[in-house]
Amino acid sequence: MKALYITIGLIFLTSLCDTINQLFLKSSINAISFNVYKPGEIVKFILKIILTPRVWLGFLFTVASLCIWLVVLSRADLNLAFSVDSMHYILIAVASMIFLKEKISLLRWIGISVIVFGIILVTVS
Amino acid sequence: MTEFSTKKVTAKLFLLLVFSDVLETVTHVCFKKSVSAEMAFTFSNAGAFFSFLHGVMLSPFLWLGLASVLITFIIWTLILSRIDLSVAVPIASFSYILIPVVSVIFLHERISLIRWLGIACILSGVILVSMSSGSKERIPGE
């Protein structure tokens, strides 16, 4: 039972790391104005993103998340791992609201909650 | 500061999201295959952790997974240049629908009622979140 709690804690940690990474990436993208969708411009945009230090900081969190995730997968089966991981969606929504100042309407909250509920149903069944 | 508003989720963006999702699934399968059951990780000591990492790094699946991570990153970056994070991430949950549906069509697997209910929930959630995207604010450069 204690092992299960450790596993769930680890899954939460990977979600947290992923969320931090997404925040760094999205805030870097927001800082770069990008509207022209031509192959050359896209390459330039990707290069700009890759050269942003914050993106690499986020990348470190992804590496940490990946290492923890590998540990989780060696201990738990994919179903449990994914169903607990669904709280990731709530975490992303709260973080987007606080740090990225995204306006989350009631409709979006309901949508996110329904998705989390659905994921739990799909992964548990 | 420029107000960065986001566009509505178009069919093209949706397909891109689904594609990045499929790639992410490929990543997960690769990573799961890179850790074999007999190397189940224990919290004994640091040495055990490093020998675990070493074993994982020798697996070709890890590297296949990492390549897929790179491509996903590029696609994901393009998506996020268009829409809110709190829209993109929930819509990416579409893969939870994709996998069961694909396994029904191609593997003739049976899906329980509860799972169908879950799929219906995710689908309605994705539609709701998509509907909530696209603000009335001005879009820079347009």
| pTM across the whole model | 0.77
Cβ–Cβ < 8 Å for B5, B139: yes
Going from N- to C-terminal start, the domains of chain B cover 11-132
**Cβ–Cβ under 8 Å, residues A102 and B134:** no
A91 shares contact with chain B (CB less than 8 Å): no
Burial A95-107 (b: 16+ CB within 10 A, else e): bbbeebebebeee
Cβ B23 vs Cβ B64: under 8 Å: no
Contacts of residue A115, Cβ cutoff 8 Å, sequence gap at least 6? A86, A89, B90, B93, B121, B122, B125, B126, B129
In angstroms, rounded to a whole number, what is the distance separating the alpha carbons of residues A12 and B121? Answer: 23
Average pLDDT of the residues of chain B: 79
Task: Say whether A122 and B96 touch across the interface (CB within 8 A).
Answer: yes
Alpha helices in chain A (DSSP H): 2-31, 39-50, 53-75, 78-85, 88-99, 106-124
Q: At residue B142, does pLDDT exceed 70? A: no
Answer whether B86 sits within 8 Å of A70, measured CB to CB: no
* Surface-to-core class of residue A24, CB atoms within 10 Å of its CB (0-12 exposed, 13-18 middle, 19+ buried): buried
Q: Does A94 touch chain B (CB under 8 A)?
A: no
- The interface residues of chain B toward chain A in range 12-71, judged by CB-CB distance below 8 A, are 28, 31-32, 34-35, 37, 39-41, 43, 52-53, 56
* Mean pLDDT (whole number) for B124-137: 79
pLDDT tens digits, one per residue of B13-44: 888 888 888 888 788 778 777 876 556 656 56
Which element (helix H / strand E) includes B78?
Answer: helix B60-80
Residues of A in contact with B123 (CB under 8 A): 118
Ranges assigned E (strand) in chain B: none
pLDDT tens profile A35-62: 767 788 888 888 889 899 999 999 899 8
B9 contact A CB<8A = no
Predicted confidence at residue B97, as pLDDT, reads 82
